[in-house]
Amino acid sequence: MTDRTGFVLKGYPRLSETFIAQEIAGLEKAGLPLEIISLRAPADKRRHPVHDEITAAVTYLPEYIHHEPLRCLAAMIKAWRLPGFGGAWKAFRADFARDKSRNRVRRFAQAAVLAVERGPHVSRLHAHFIHTPASVTRYAAQMLGCDWSCSAHAKDIWTSPDWELEEKLAQALWTVTCTASGHAHLQSLSADPARVHLSYHGLDLNRFGPFAGRNHTRDGSNPADPVRLVSVGRAVTKKGYDTLLEALALLPPGLHWRFDHAGGGELLDNLKEQAVRLGIDDRIVWHGAQDQAAVLALYRACDMFVLPCRIAPDGDRDGLPNVLVEAASQGLACISTTISGVPELISGKRLGVLVPPEDPAELAQAIEVLARSPDKRGKLGRAIEKRVRSEFDHNASIRQLMALFEGEAGAELRNAAE
């Protein structure tokens, strides 16, 4: 049987990580044999259609040691006999000296389970996210004496200490990331910057075909047909939804609007309470977590997409939000902020509107201008859609990743990383 690559993920399947499922499906179609190793069982009840297209076997590791103590103990005993266990134990002890946490212990136990329970034909490992999944992958690869690689994204880059990033970058065969800002940061920490590559996720344009039915006539003057704003994203600090609610409350009374939000998240109840305090809750529909078909329907029903990203106090931030690319593919005018990888998509005023983060007044002004200007929304939507369809096709990323997995650092891949 063909050797396989073990993809180590935080959780699988997850509604909020469509881009990972899309990548796995694309790599399978391109001929990469793989298995999925998840650090936790799925929490989402819904699935995207792409999840049903993936054929890879899935192994779920113990999420917590105390949930499956005998399984973890048995794995540690077996892993102790592996030739690389001593090196992994040494690395763990060095890491634990700098990060004395239960999470660190859990990662090592998960690595032992991974090492002894992986499929018999898994000959190398690949971590999605350079924080927890890469820690588990690194320890397991050391135990097994196999190669490993990594995909880094956003929160995992900006909330990990430099010492940990430096060591993982030095040990991974290669690392790929999805924004120029993240790429530059990781290269600055790598002893061999050429092993850090830039590859935008892109979008599976077959799933997000052109929408010919967009209506650019709403201007906020008709209370029976308000301008519709939409945003898709988890209710977490870095998304800036509290700022968006403040901005919506600043819109003039004569401007009629409705806001649709799709996504779960720990701050959702707080946002609903904030909307009540601001007196705008009757204009907002909270849809909760939705599958891809429902999200696509929302894009097509609305007039503009808004995502006021910010840098959270712990350093967490978005990279280039995939939902922004999705919305753009449907000809939606987009409003976002100057954070991280967003300007890599909205790189000029003809493509969308960028405002400073955490500035409700500027955000409200931008929303009002687009709400009252259907012609401008149309021009922005057509321009950003054209860019997405010409430059953000996910097949380009799949080709780049396949070159890395096959060990071919070709000219196209090197150029993309520069």
pLDDT for 94? 97
Task: Report the amino acid identity of residue 34.
Answer: L
CATH class of the domain defined by 227-391: alpha beta
32: number of Cβ within 10 Å: 20
Supply 279's token pair.
């007196």
What are phi and psi for residue 169, nearest 5 degrees?
-60, -35
Asked if 247 and 274 count as a contact pair (C-beta separation under 8 A), the reply is no
Asked if 127 and 137 count as a contact pair (C-beta separation under 8 A), the reply is yes
13, 15, 76: which is closest to 40 by C-alpha?
Answer: 13
pLDDT for 415? 44
How much of the chain exceeds pLDDT 90, in percent? 87
Report the chain's terminal Cα–Cα distance, integer Å: 37
pLDDT tier for residue 414 given thresholds of 50, 70 and 90: very low
Stretch 79-106: mean pLDDT: 96
pLDDT for 418? 41
Write out pLDDT tens, residues 319-362.
Answer: 899 999 999 999 999 999 999 899 999 999 999 999 999 999 99
283: number of Cβ within 10 Å: 15
27, 60, 248: which is closest to 136 by C-alpha?
Answer: 60
Asked if 227 and 217 count as a contact pair (C-beta separation under 8 A), the reply is no
> Where along the chain do the CATH 3.40.50.2000 domains lie?
4-202+393-416, 227-391
CATH class of the domain defined by 4-202+393-416: alpha beta
Stretch 60-69: mean pLDDT: 95
Mean pLDDT for the chain overall: 93
**Which residues on adjacent β-strands are paired with residue 152?**
177
pTM of the model: 0.87
Stretch 20-25: mean pLDDT: 93
Write out pLDDT tens, residues 225-255.
Answer: 999 999 999 999 999 999 999 999 999 999 9
Q: Report in angstroms the alpha-carbon separations of 113 from 119, 122, 139, 141.
A: 12, 14, 11, 12
pLDDT for 1? 52
Task: For residues 61 and 144, give the distance between their C-alpha atoms in angstroms, rounded to a whole number.
Answer: 17
120: number of Cβ within 10 Å: 7
**Lowest mean pLDDT, pick from 33-47, 54-68, 137-151:** 33-47
**Lowest mean pLDDT, pick from 119-123, 129-133, 329-333:** 119-123
> Which residue matches tokens 């029903």?
301
pLDDT for 412? 43
Write out pLDDT tens, residues 165-179.
Answer: 999 999 999 999 999
pLDDT tier for residue 115 given thresholds of 50, 70 and 90: very high
Sign of torsion over alpha carbons 166, 167, 168, 172: positive
